[in-house]
Structure formats: structure tokens, C-alpha cells
A = this chain, B = another copy of it.
């Protein structure tokens, strides 16, 4: 730990950083609030005031975030009606939004491991079996893959 490293230390990213999918996803939902709003929707909280209450987000910002989530297609509005009241809108995840679940679970698992002292506030379970659900990196053959066994390969962009 005190010896200067002998391995090559200089290396540029193997891919144009501007074309990386991580950059794109962050541009879509990488602001301070969107992920939290998505979490609420995943938890089943669908109404404006409930989300606002849970998150402590200001109303104007929530309006903006929900509109944006709908615009990019990860959430959709759905009409509902309380008896004796007029029709209102609620918000639900689309399939495209559900596909962000691994990101949410990844954030949750890291926080569980490093921030909550082995006492996770929420656990994810499979509905039928009651078994705990975890995120795993696996190869196409189904084997678990350790992070250090993973290499990145840049693909040549198709030109059209």
C-alpha cells in the first residue's frame, strides 16, 4: 500500500463517454428527485398529494417531475374517481418505468449494506414464495459473475 503502483495507470475510456448509455439514462432520470418519485410509484403511491407528503418535495417541482416522467414514458396518468367527486388523475409506472426497477434495487441494496448497519428498512420479497429478492450479475449461461471478472467491450456504432 505504500509502494507506487507498477501497473499502467493511464487509460482513456474505451468508449466515447458521450455515447454511453449511463450518460443517457442519467440525463433522463438523474436529477435530485426523479428517482425518489419513481420509488414512490413503485411502492404504489399514486396520488400527487401523497407523493408530495412522503417526499417533502415542493409542489411546483413535483408537477414538473411528474410531467417529465410522463413525457419520457416511464410513468402514465390514469383517471380515477372517488364516489361523489369528479374524475382526477393518478400516476403509475409504465413498462418502461418498471424496467428501472433494477436501478432502484441497486441503490437500495448498497444503502442497506453500507448505510443501515445490517438493518434494512425495507426488504423485497417474491409474492408467492415469500423469498427474498436480490439483484445479481450473471452471465448468459446463468452463472454468477464477480465484479472483477467483468470486462467492458466497446461496440462499433452502426452507421446509417
Residue numbers of A with Cβ under 8 A of B are: 2-7, 9-17, 19-26, 28, 30-32, 35-36, 39-40, 42-47, 50, 53-56, 73, 78-83, 87, 90, 96, 98-116, 119-129, 131-141, 143, 145, 147-158
Main secondary structure of the interface of A (DSSP, over half): mixed
Q: List 12 A-B contacts (CB under 8 A).
A: A4-B82, A5-B79, A11-B45, A13-B43, A16-B121, A20-B39, A21-B109, A22-B39, A26-B107, A99-B114, A121-B156, A125-B150
> Chain B residue with minimal CB distance to A84?
B4
> Chain B residue with minimal CB distance to A115?
B24
**Do B4 and A79 touch (CB < 8 A)?**
yes
**Do B25 and A111 touch (CB < 8 A)?**
yes
Q: Using Cβ atoms and an 8 Å threshold, which residues of chain B touch A138?
A: 133-134, 136
Asked if A133 meets B125 with Cβ closer than 8 Å, knowing A4-B87, A22-B36, the reply is no
Q: Using Cβ atoms and an 8 Å threshold, which residues of chain B touch A145?
A: 126, 133
**A42 CB to nearest chain B CB (Å):** 8
Which among A11, A113, A139 has the highest number of chain B CB atoms within 10 Å? A139
Q: Using Cβ atoms and an 8 Å threshold, which residues of chain B touch A43?
A: 11, 13-15, 152
**Cβ 8 A contact of A26, one of B36, B42, B109:** B36
> Chain B residue with minimal CB distance to A85?
B4
**A103 CB to nearest chain B CB (Å):** 4
Q: Using Cβ atoms and an 8 Å threshold, which residues of chain B touch A155?
A: 119-123
